[in-house]
């Protein structure tokens, strides 16, 4: 597969460079043939581009210079990475999304970001071959992620959640090929894989204003993965239980399949 990695880098302290280094050592091992679009967040250390260049991976980098659209999360860095992707007008077979998890905040009780990062290395990035084979073997597979939740951290039901920016994903407005509602669960970190057709339809639909407008801080981890289910593709999550232990995410997916009359997706519930 011709693989693309959309990567958001936020390193504000040289003491946190080890986080970037861990990612790029992993990328060098498992993604050396991929192409990277790397957005660097506002305020990151000035030597970050040099650090990334040391790994000699095929990439384009852009630094966010406009503080007014800095979200104080990975969203703004992902936003400018997507801007580069749109401007580059290239096509890839599959798109991986990632960010420097643990480089800004250590975390809190029960949520250690360094442990979370290492979990993603083991459960997701180091399993690239297996995951991409899942997409190749299942043409209706739209997204792949490790874990998700059935309501937002603030307790908002996803069907009532709306942080759209210039293009209606949350509100389920039907604009081909976004002809279906989004599934009512979301991944909980900006670490996921999305099918080619969904990403490229979304990138094509985004107006230039999208890239110069401040986004909701959690836009990338919640809204972007929905582009695949909006196109009628199956959303896969490895951990079937809701992160907050409210329900089985497979049941939520089955309800989405039924509501959108997509019975051909039923077999993918057993993945």
Average pLDDT score over residue span 140-150: 97
48-70 pLDDT, tens per residue? Answer: 999 999 999 999 999 999 999 99
207-216 pLDDT, tens per residue? Answer: 999 999 999 9
**The CATH number of the domain covering residues in 3-270:** 3.90.550.10
Cβ atoms of residues 76 and 190 within 8 Å = no
Highest mean pLDDT among 21-30, 104-113, 114-123: 21-30
Average pLDDT score over residue span 165-192: 96
pTM, full prediction: 0.95
Average pLDDT score over residue span 142-168: 93
The pLDDT assigned to 75 comes to 96
| Residues contacting 57, CB < 8 A, separation 6+ | 24, 27, 28, 31, 32, 34, 36
The pLDDT assigned to 152 comes to 87
The pLDDT assigned to 108 comes to 47
Tokens 């104080």 locate to: 72
The pLDDT assigned to 227 comes to 98
The pLDDT assigned to 105 comes to 62
**What is the residue-averaged pLDDT of the chain?**
94
The pLDDT assigned to 101 comes to 85
* CA–CA separation, 62 and 39 (whole Å): 5
The pLDDT assigned to 113 comes to 78
């Amino acid at each position: 597969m011709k693989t693309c990695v959309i990567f958001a880098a936020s390193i504000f302290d040289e003491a946190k460079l080890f986080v970037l280094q861990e990612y790029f050592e992993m990328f060098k091992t498992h993604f050396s043939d991929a192409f990277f679009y790397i957005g660097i967040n506002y305020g990151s250390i000035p030597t970050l581009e040099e650090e990334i260049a040391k790994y000699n991976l095929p990439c384009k980098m852009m630094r966010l210079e406009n503080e007014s659209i800095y979200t104080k999360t990975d969203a703004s860095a992902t936003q400018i990475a997507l801007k580069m992707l749109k401007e580059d007008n290239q096509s890839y077979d599959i798109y991986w999304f990632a960010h420097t998890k643990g480089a800004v905040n250590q975390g809190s009780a029960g949520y250690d970001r360094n442990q979370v990062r290492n979990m993603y290395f083991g459960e997701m990035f180091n399993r690239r071959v297996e995951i991409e084979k899942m997409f190749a073997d299942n043409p209706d597979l739209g997204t792949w992620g490790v874990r998700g939740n059935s309501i937002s951290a603030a307790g908002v039901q996803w069907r009532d959640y709306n942080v759209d920016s210039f293009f209606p994903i949350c509100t389920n407005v039907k604009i081909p090929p976004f002809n279906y509602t989004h599934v009512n669960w979301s991944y909980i970190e900006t670490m996921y894989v999305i099918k080619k057709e969904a990403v490229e339809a979304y990138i094509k639909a985004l107006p230039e204003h999208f890239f110069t407008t401040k986004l909701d801080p959690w836009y990338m981890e919640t809204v972007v993965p929905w582009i695949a289910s909006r196109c009628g593709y199956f959303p896969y999550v490895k951990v079937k239980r809701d992160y907050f232990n409210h329900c089985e995410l497979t049941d939520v997916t089955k309800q989405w399949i039924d509501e959108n009359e997509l019975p051909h997706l039923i077999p993918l519930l057993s993945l």
